[in-house]
Structure formats: structure tokens, C-alpha cells
Amino acid sequence: MESNRVLGGKAILIVDDDWDVAWSTAQLVETFGCITKVVPTAQKALEHIASGQPIDLIITDIVMPGMSGIEFARKVRVGHPELPIVFSTGRDSAVDAVLDAGAVAILKPFEPEVLRRVLVERLQPGS
């Protein structure tokens, strides 16, 4: 299956201040064959990225205390412009804003197949 080849062994960083959402997302992503790391804040995510551990893709909430997912993505782009970022949110208006900016967003709660398809698309070479 194409998705197994693309997703197998990929390191996915999940950034969400809601632990229940973060852990359920991690468990789902792991069923796709990925390795996950969950952090509760954008600042912790930046620290993890700075540690040099491999990251193939980031899934981040948009609305978080402290630093928003949008601000976090801007900071990530400075040092890692090629790193795919998928925004997730429970707010329709936030999805519209992200899509208007040309980024990828999914609305929580998302269906497993939708998330799998988005991850495959973002991790395909040349995407």
C-alpha cells in the first residue's frame, strides 16, 4: 500500500495543549506506522526541534495559550522552511484563515482516513 511506504517510520511531532486530543492523535498516527512525539506547547515544540532529533512533519493546533500554532509555524519556517506543517483546529473560522494563507488545515475531530491522506500528501516528495 502506497501510504505505508510513505508514512512508515516517519517522525511526527504533535503540538496540542489538549492532552486528550494530542494523545488520541498520536495513537492514530502510530497506526499509520509513524513514530510520534507529543508536546503541550509551541515553546516545548521549538525546544524539541532545536534538540536536533529527526522530525519529518509537524501537526499543530492553531489556538493554544502562549504562542499560537500560526506564530509557531512562522518560527519553524525560519530554520526549517522545508518541514511540512499540518494545522489542526476545532474552529471552522481558523481552518478558513489557514487555507486562505495557502497552508494545510484539518478540522477536529478528523476522520482517520482524512488525516492519513493529508499526511501522505504532505510527505510525498515534491509536495
Secondary structure string (H, E, C) spanning the chain:
CHHHHHHCCCEEEEECCCHHHHHHHHHHHHHCCCEEEEECCHHHHHHHHHCCCCCCEEEEECCCCCCCHHHHHHHHHHHCCCCCEEEEECCHHHHHHHHHCCCEEEECCCCHHHHHHHHHHHHCCCC
CA distance 17 to 38: 10
Backbone phi and psi for residue 64, each to the nearest 5 degrees, phi listed first: -140, 155
Residue 96 confidence (pLDDT): 63
Decide which of 37 and 101 is more confident: 37
Q: What is the mean pLDDT of residues 9-18?
A: 97
Q: Where are the domains of the chain?
A: 2-123
Whole-structure pTM over 0.85, yes or no?
yes
Most confident of 33-42, 64-73, 78-87, 109-118: 33-42
Residue 113 has pLDDT above 90, yes or no: yes
CATH class held by domain 2-123: alpha beta
